[in-house]
């Protein structure tokens, strides 16, 4: 008799009971968010708890769950809370919990193999994204873990499509020489492939060019105008392989002049990429669609569904107008992954392997939560929530303008409000420290979670309104508390 083992439970009934309890607790947690602190600092005992070797023997599942409830659940980032507005993060939905559970129950793999329903779901979600964002259905695309991956994929396609040599075979050392006309092999310096974006564009672009082997010198930061948008006139004096426009900067929500950038790239024969991490979704709100006009002309577009679409982390999206260029950049088919030859006795081919359109082979079923959420709410409701957040940001700006103790950094461009507490007689350095202290007090007391951003060398409270649970009364509270805390801290 063999002593073979499995990782399935011996007592399915006990695990089933724990699963029901965990799901009930998760729904209770989400339903009661408004009654909870916006954020709770993990005390030293929590950090100390996670020190020690891995367990050598099994532990009771009830004990494991109790440990999670005590040491893990209370000390989250807080982005599910109605008064979380720090950085730019989505808030998740209850249906997302169920979708993640269902995907995990089948240990879902997406993007490889044929005649698998997961692939059909992802392709439909991609088509829906193309339609919502004004992209042609013939475009390529992929669901990703977020815009860091989406930007990396898009810039890889831009690099390979724009280079005048075979980057995959030769690497960047195969680039032809610069203006001297000498070949790189003969000692001439290889021509540098360059990408241009505004000084306000996201740091994920820097990481992308580093990972692509191009070096940070290949990412040229273009000056911005008074509203922190890319200066198109300054860009016109430069030479580039690719230009990145931003539909909503993380710092201020500023939107580059996308039509002008699209015209410039078309005229110069350059690749036009748009980083629309959160701001791209303004396209689905009829009253605000004009803000991101021109985005649909981009050669590639990166966006997140876990930000302004509020899907459970992680899920992002990249769309590439030239699907074949995307496939050429990533497709690699060793014999053990041969496909397109007919499977299970069938002839012809099934849908494309999505692994041919990105750098990951093993991919989770991100599409399921997007598919279920869009079916649960419909595009029009998501559009109303996006517009609601834009209106709330403008409402907050009005509250700030009405208080002499507060000062706004810039007009609201989209859904981000940057403002600070001011007090006569204090230097800018003192005001910087004061506003940083206000941020920390708001967070540590569990009142609300803004972040702090630096604009024009000065620190401002940064409120990114991308939260479907926020109400106008929450912004009333925020302004009252900023004024109260500012006076309290300055007086002390």
**Residue whose pair of structure tokens reads 């002593």 in the numeric block:** 3
The CA distance from 46 to 349, in Å, is 53
b/e map 219-241, b = 16+ CB within 10 Å:
bbebebeeebbbbbeebeeeebb
Summarize pLDDT for 296-353 with one digit per residue, the tens. Answer: 999 999 999 999 999 999 999 999 999 999 999 999 877 667 776 555 555 456 889 9
Distances from the Cα of 48 to the Cαs of 41, 56, 59, 68, in angstroms?
A: 14, 20, 20, 15
Share of the chain above pLDDT 90, in %: 88
Tens of pLDDT, residue by residue over 390-434, are 999 999 999 999 999 999 999 999 999 999 999 999 999 999 999
Bridging pattern class, strands 219-222 and 406-408: unpaired
Check: CB of residue 121 under 8 Å from CB of residue 368: yes
- CA distances 358 to 15, 121, 161, 202, Å, are 37, 17, 15, 21
Q: Rounded to whole angstroms, what are the CA distances from 453 to 200, 239, 415, 426? A: 12, 31, 15, 19
Closest CA to 22 of 77, 76, 106, 98: 98
Q: In what order do the strands lie in the sheet with 219-222?
A: 140-144, 316-320, 300-304, 271-275, 242-246, 195-198, 219-222
Structural tokens at position 380: 């029009």
Tell me the C-alpha distance between 308 and 162, whole Å. 32
Torsions phi, psi for 275 (to 5 deg): -90, 100
For residue 324, what are its two tokens?
């074949």
Check if the beta carbon of residue 299 is closer than 8 Å to that of residue 158: yes
Is-contact 230 245, C-beta < 8 A? yes
Say how far apart CA 334 and CA 443 lie, in whole Å.
51
pTM of the entire structure? Answer: 0.93
Name the E strands within 175-311.
Answer: 195-198, 219-222, 242-246, 271-275, 300-304
| pLDDT tens per residue across all 492 residues of the chain | 678 999 999 999 999 999 999 999 999 999 999 999 999 999 999 999 999 999 999 999 999 999 999 999 999 999 999 999 999 999 999 999 999 999 999 999 998 888 899 999 999 999 999 999 999 999 999 999 999 999 999 999 999 999 989 999 999 888 887 533 333 444 556 678 899 999 999 999 999 999 999 999 999 999 999 999 999 999 988 877 999 999 999 999 999 999 999 999 999 999 999 999 999 999 999 999 999 999 999 999 999 999 999 999 999 999 999 999 999 999 987 766 777 655 555 545 688 999 999 999 999 999 999 999 999 999 999 999 999 999 999 999 999 999 999 999 999 999 999 999 999 999 999 999 999 999 999 999 999 999 999 999 999 999 999 999 999 999 999 999 999 999 999 988
Please answer whether residues 249 and 225 qualify as being in contact, where contact means their C-beta atoms are separated by less than 8 angstroms: no
Domains of the chain from N-terminus onward: 15-57+65-94+378-492 (3.90.1150.170), 108-376 (3.40.640.10)
Write the CB contacts of 255 (distance below 8 Å, at least 6 apart in sequence): 229, 246, 247, 248, 249, 279, 291, 292, 413, 414
Gap between the Cα atoms of 474 and 479, Å rounded: 9
Measured in degrees and rounded to the nearest 5, phi and psi for residue 273 equal: -110, 140
The Cα 24–Cα 214 span in angstroms is: 49
> Is residue 26 exposed (0-12), middle (13-18) or buried (19+ Cβ within 10 Å)?
middle
């Amino acid at each position: 008799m063999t002593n073979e083992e499995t990782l399935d439970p011996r007592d399915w009934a006990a695990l089933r009971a724990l699963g029901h309890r965990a799901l009930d607790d998760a729904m209770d947690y989400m339903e009661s968010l408004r009654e909870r602190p916006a954020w709770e600092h993990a005390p030293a005992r929590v950090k100390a708890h996670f020190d020690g070797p891995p367990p050598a023997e099994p532990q009771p599942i009830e004990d494991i769950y109790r440990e999670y409830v005590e040491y893990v659940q209370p000390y989250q980032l807080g982005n599910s809370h109605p008064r979380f507005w720090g950085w730019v993060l989505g808030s998740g939905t209850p249906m997302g919990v169920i979708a993640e559970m269902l995907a995990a129950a089948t240990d879902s793999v997406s993007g490889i193999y044929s005649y698998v329903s997961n692939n059909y779901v992802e392709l439909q979600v991609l088509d829906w994204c193309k339609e919502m964002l004004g992209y042609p259905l013939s475009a390529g695309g992929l669901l990703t873990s977020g815009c860091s991956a989406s930007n990396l994929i898009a810039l890889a396609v831009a690099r390979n499509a724009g280079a005048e040599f075979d980057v995959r075979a030769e690497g960047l050392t195969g680039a032809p020489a610069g203006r001297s006309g000498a070949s790189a092999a003969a000692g001439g310096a290889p021509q540098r492939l360059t990408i241009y974006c505004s000084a306000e564009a996201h740091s994920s672009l820097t990481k992308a060019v580093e990972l692509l082997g191009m070096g940070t010198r290949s990412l040229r930061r273009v000056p911005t105008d008074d509203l922190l948008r890319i200066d198109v006139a300054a860009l016109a004096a430069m030479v580039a392989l690719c230009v990145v426009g931003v539909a909503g900067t993380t710092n201020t929500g500023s939107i580059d002049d996308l039509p002008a950038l699209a015209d410039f790239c078309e005229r110069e024969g350059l690749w036009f990429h748009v980083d629309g991490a959160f701001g791209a979704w303004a396209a689905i709100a009829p009253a605000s669609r004009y803000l991101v006009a021109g985005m649909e002309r981009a050669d590639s577009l990166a966006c997140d569904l876990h930000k302004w679409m509020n899907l459970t982390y992680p899920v992002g999206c990249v769309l590439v107008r030239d699907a074949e260029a995307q496939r050429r950049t990533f497709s690699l088919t060793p014999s053990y992954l041969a496909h397109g030859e007919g499977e299970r006795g069938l002839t012809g081919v099934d849908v494309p392997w999505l692994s041919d359109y990105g750098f990951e082979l093993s991919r989770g079923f991100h599409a399921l939560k997007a598919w279920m959420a869009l079916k649960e709410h419909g595009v029009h409701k998501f559009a109303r929530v996006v517009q609601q957040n834009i209106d709330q940001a403008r409402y907050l700006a009005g509250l700030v303008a009405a208080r002499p103790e507060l000062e706004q950094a810039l007009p609201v461009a989209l859904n981000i409000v940057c403002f600070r507490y001011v007090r006569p007689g204090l230097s800018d350095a003192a005001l910087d420290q004061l506003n940083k202290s206000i941020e920390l007090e708001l967070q540590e007391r569990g009142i609300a979670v803004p972040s702090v951003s630096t604009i024009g060398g000065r620190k401002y409270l940064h409120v990114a309104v991308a939260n479907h649970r926020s109400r106008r009364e929450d912004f009333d509270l925020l302004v009252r508390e900023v004024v109260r805390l500012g006076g309290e801290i300055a007086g002390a």
